[in-house]
């Protein structure tokens, strides 16, 4: 049978119907002239192993949401340094070299921040201490920070995040959320908490704020981001992070590149219809 060039990829998670990743990937495939498919696959942690092991040769890769980003690690043959540092692979590539894992969330954070402007050697605050916060800490290193401060509701649960900071060569300081007046006077603030959690920080925005990335992208701007912008600060949404991490996934899967400007209109349109 002749190879018709069709390849397959998908985003995995539970639930997954809300994912905008297909918009990014399918728009890119169209621009690149690739007859590829990219689907949403509703998959739990218990189902992941069977799914990964049963992929056939037409499969090029998969995007993963939590908790699959960490669950997939024992199933991979090779991982990049960022996966080792963050304990999460949001991208799996299938090919002759086996199953390879990558973390493109870090790239997405870096590019989203750089788009609105970041000074060299910035001071960085990460809000939250979950899986996305670990990628944010790694991104702080990529942005040129020498240390990172973390605002966490449960400082005792920050062991993994501290490990990420050390793996990236960063000093790290942990402050308990609510233990004192919140200081947001940093060059870069990376809010990694779910929608609504950071709303109270709108009252703590400094007079001259720096750059904010709020990973929330529905009902944008959030109250926190709106207050940041009203005080003259630059703010990027999680939609930009999603876009740029997806562009890096496309590069890994196809070996080709498209630009954010080529994909952003379709992504914004899809997001507006949610």
Catalytic residues: 69
Would you list the DSSP string of the chain?
-------EEEEEESS-TT--HHHHHHHHHHHHT---EEEEEE--HHHHHHHHHT--TTEEEEEE-TTHHHHTGGG-SEE-HHHHHHS--SEEEEETTEEEEE--HHHHHHHHHHHH---SS--EEEE--SHHHHHHHHHHHHTT-SEEEEEES-GGG-HHHHHHHHHTT-EEEEEETTSS-----SSEEEE-SPTTTTGGGGGG--SS--EEEE---TTSSPHHHHHHHHTT-EEEEHHHHHHHHHHHHHHHHHS----HHHHHHHHHHHHHT-
Query: How far is CA 74 from its chain centroid?
Result: 21
| R_g of the chain computed on alpha carbons | 19
Instruction: Give the C-alpha separation, 12 to 31, whole Å.
Output: 23
Q: Which residues make beta-bridge pairs with 172?
A: 148
């Amino acid at each position: 049978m002749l190879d018709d060039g069709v390849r397959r990829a998908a985003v995995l998670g539970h639930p997954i119907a809300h994912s905008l990743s297909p918009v990014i990937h399918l728009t890119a495939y169209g621009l690149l002239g690739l007859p590829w498919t990219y689907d949403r696959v509703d998959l739990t942690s218990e189902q992941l192993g069977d799914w990964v092991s049963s992929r056939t040769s037409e499969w090029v890769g998969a995007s993963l949401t939590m908790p699959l980003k960490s669950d997939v690690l024992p199933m991979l043959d090779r991982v990049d340094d960022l996966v080792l540092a963050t304990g999460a692979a949001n991208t799996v590539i299938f090919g002759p070299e086996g199953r390879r894992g990558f973390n493109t969330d870090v790239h997405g954070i870096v590019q989203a921040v750089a788009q609105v402007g970041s000074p060299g050697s910035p001071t960085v605050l990460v809000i939250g201490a979950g899986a996305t916060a670990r990628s944010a800490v790694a991104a702080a290193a990529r942005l040129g920070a020498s240390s990172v401060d973390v605002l966490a509701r449960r400082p005792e649960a920050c062991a993994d995040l501290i490990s990420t900071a050390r793996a990236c060569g960063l000093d790290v300081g942990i402050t308990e959320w609510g233990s004192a007046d919140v200081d947001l006077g940093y060059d870069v603030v990376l809010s990694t908490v779910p929608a609504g959690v950071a709303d109270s920080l709108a009252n703590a925005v400094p007079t001259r704020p720096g750059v904010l990335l709020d990973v929330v992208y529905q009902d944008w701007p959030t109250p926190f981001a709106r207050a940041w912008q009203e005080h003259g600060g630059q703010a990027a949404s999680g939609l930009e992070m999603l876009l740029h991490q997806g562009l890096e996934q496309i590069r890994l899967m196809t070996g080709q590149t498209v630009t954010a400007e080529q994909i952003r209109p379709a992504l914004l349109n899809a997001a507006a219809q949610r």
